[in-house]
Structures are given as structure tokens and as C-alpha cells.
């Protein structure tokens, strides 16, 4: 079995009194260390796919396993703990907490996991230094540029040393130069942390840098 294994994934939503079928028997596999781009039109279900792969949302049918652990078989509390340890998320909008500074935002997953501050703080600081924010540790999100905020989000996603990185349009809200710099950072972190990375993107440069490009169409993945 592949490191990330998804088979027969079905996900429906209720909208305006009717059922909307988003994922329709979708299959996906990815090996450890592989970077896969997911492309497709807006509204086709790329975010939904990432949410179910990372355990943010439950599937209606099918199976998802990460490193041999079946996500759909885990009770809610166990799924939350597994997700916090094994999955890092980077979204188009950084979702940083405005009242906390960069290092406090980056260490938040460790605080949730009850890792002592004596361990959490230096690990978060080291990661922020790795992503080029050594002089921004005590800056709150409102004092950071869009690119800097997204770098904090990358550090937060990696601070628990996850196996899987899920990025949902991570450069969609950035200008071209800043987006290119974030592309390079994501590739560097992917390599250095030996991640399995699934990246949903409209950006052809980011997609072309991945090992494989798949298109989400009518609820299933096809080769792009």
C-alpha cells in the first residue's frame, strides 16, 4: 500500500435541500517523499479533497489511510490527535491568530498537543529562522507582509514534523515574485523534511515543479 492511500472516496454535501456530489469514487495514492499537484477549475472540489485526505472532514464512502493508519476508522478524538501529529496544512489565507506573534502562532500545534513550552518555543523559533523570518519572531500578523504571513503558516504546518503536507492554493493571494519565493520554500521544505506533499493550485509554475500533476474533474482524478 502507498504511504497515502485513498480509494473509492465519496463526499456529498447537502445544499438548498438537495444532495451535491463532490467526490465520486475518487482514487489517489502517493509515496513517501512524493510531491503531487492537484489542478482543476474553481469549485470542482480541490479543497474538499484536501480536507478529507487530512481528516478535517469525514468521507461518505471509501477508505483513506496514511502510513497504514485508516483515517475513516478512527474515533473523532483519535483523529484529531493523529491529524495534529501527522498532517500539516497550508491554506490560501494563512489563518494566523492576530493577537499572537509569529513564534506563538508557529508553536500553536505544539501547545495544543501539550508539548512543554521549553521544547515548543525553540523548535518554533528554529523553523521561523529556516523560512527566513529570524528578525520577525515577535511581530504579530498585522505587522507582516502577505508573504511573511504565509511563511509563518508554513512553519506552523511543519512544527509537529508531520509526514503529510497539504497545501490549498498556498500562493493564490500573493503577487508573482512572492509566490515564486514561496514555491521555492515549499520545495525546499518538502525535500528537507522528506514529506509527502499534496498541493492544490491554479499556478502552472508550482504544478510543473511537482513530481506528478493530476486534474480533478467530475469528482475523480485524471492525469493532467
Count of Cβ atoms closer than 10 Å to residue 97 Cβ = 13
Q: What is the pLDDT of residue 29?
A: 94
Give pLDDT tens digits for 57-113.
999 999 999 999 999 889 999 999 899 899 999 987 778 999 999 999 999 999 988
pTM surpassing 0.85?
yes
| The residue count for the chain | 224
Predicted local confidence at residue 198, as pLDDT: 95
Q: What is the dihedral of CA 96, 129, 145, 149, to 10 degrees?
A: -20
Q: How many helices and strands (H and E) does the chain possess?
A: 8, 10
Cα–Cα–Cα angle for 61, 163, 57, nearest 5°? 30
- pLDDT of 209 strictly over 90: no
Sheet holding 69-70, edge to edge: 18-30, 4-15, 61-66, 69-70
Q: How far apart are the first and last CA of the chain?
A: 23
pLDDT, tens only, 8-51: 999 998 877 788 889 999 999 999 999 999 998 888 899 999 99
Cα separation, 104 vs 159, whole angstroms: 12
The single-letter DSSP state of residue 2 is -
Q: What share of the chain is helix, strand, coil (3-state, %, to 5)?
A: 40, 30, 35
CB 202 within 8 A of CB 38: no
Burial-class residue 98 by CB neighbours within 10 Å (0-12, 13-18, 19+).
Answer: exposed
Give residue 160's pLDDT band: very low, low, confident or very high (50, 70, 90): very high
Are the C-beta atoms of residues 47 and 92 closer than 8 Å to each other? no
213, 50 Cβ separation under 8 angstroms: no
The superfamily in CATH containing domain 34-58+73-223 is P-loop containing nucleotide triphosphate hydrolases (3.40.50.300)
Amino acid at each position: 500500500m502507498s504511504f497515502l492511500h485513498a480509494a473509492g472516496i465519496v463526499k456529498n454535501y447537502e445544499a438548498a435541500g438537495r444532495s451535491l456530489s463532490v467526490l465520486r469514487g475518487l482514487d489517489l495514492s502517493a509515496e513517501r517523499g512524493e510531491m503531487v499537484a492537484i489542478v482543476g477549475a474553481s469549485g470542482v472540489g480541490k479543497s474538499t479533497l484536501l480536507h478529507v485526505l487530512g481528516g478535517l472532514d469525514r468521507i461518505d464512502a471509501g477508505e483513506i489511510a496514511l502510513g497504514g493508519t485508516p483515517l475513516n476508522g478512527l474515533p473523532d478524538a483519535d483523529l484529531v490527535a493523529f491529524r495534529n501529529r501527522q498532517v500539516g496544512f497550508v491554506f490560501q489565507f494563512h489563518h494566523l491568530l492576530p493577537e499572537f506573534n509569529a513564534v506563538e502562532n508557529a508553536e500553536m500545534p505544539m501547545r495544543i498537543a501539550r508539548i512543554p513550552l521549553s521544547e515548543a518555543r525553540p523548535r518554533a523559533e528554529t523553523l521561523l529562522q529556516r523560512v527566513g523570518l529570524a528578525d520577525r519572531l515577535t511581530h504579530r500578523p498585522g505587522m507582516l507582509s502577505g508573504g511573511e504571513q504565509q511563511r509563518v503558516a508554513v512553519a506552523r504546518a511543519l512544527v509537529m514534523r508531520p509526514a503529510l503536507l497539504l497545501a490549498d492554493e498556498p500562493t493564490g493571494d500573493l503577487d508573482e515574485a512572492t509566490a515564486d519565493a514561496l514555491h521555492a520554500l515549499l520545495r525546499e521544505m518538502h525535500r528537507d523534511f522528506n514529506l509527502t506533499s499534496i498541493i492544490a493550485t491554479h499556478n502552472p509554475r508550482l504544478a510543473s515543479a511537482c513530481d506528478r500533476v493530476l486534474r480533478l474533474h467530475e469528482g475523480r482524478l485524471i492525469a493532467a
